Amino acid sequence: MTERARIEAYLRRLYGYALSLAGNHHQAEDLVQECAVRALTARNVPGVCFWRPSGPATSMSCR
């Protein structure tokens, strides 16, 4: 399974959480997109791990 597929599996759950934080759909979509981009690009930053492919959904962090 690719990293993208692993992240996509959690997008709906992440969207629900983002919606509860943001309060509107547009901002929730922006939060989810930013988080997914950070998760996919963090592997290129030495010493930073936002996404652990073998870990649970909670291993994905947005800062």
pLDDT in tens, 39-60: 778 766 555 555 555 555 444 5
User: In this structure, what token pair is assigned to residue 52?
Assistant: 């652990």
Cα(21)–Cα(4) distance, integer angstroms = 24
Q: What percent of the chain has pLDDT over 70?
A: 67
User: In this structure, what token pair is assigned to residue 41?
Assistant: 């690009």
Say if residues 32 and 17 touch (Cβ distance below 8 Å): no
Q: How many beta carbons lie within 10 A of that of residue 60, not counting itself?
A: 20
Check residues 51 and 17 and name the one with the higher pLDDT. 17
Cα(46)–Cα(58) distance, integer angstroms = 21
Q: Determine if the pTM surpasses 0.85.
A: no
First to last CA, the chain: 25
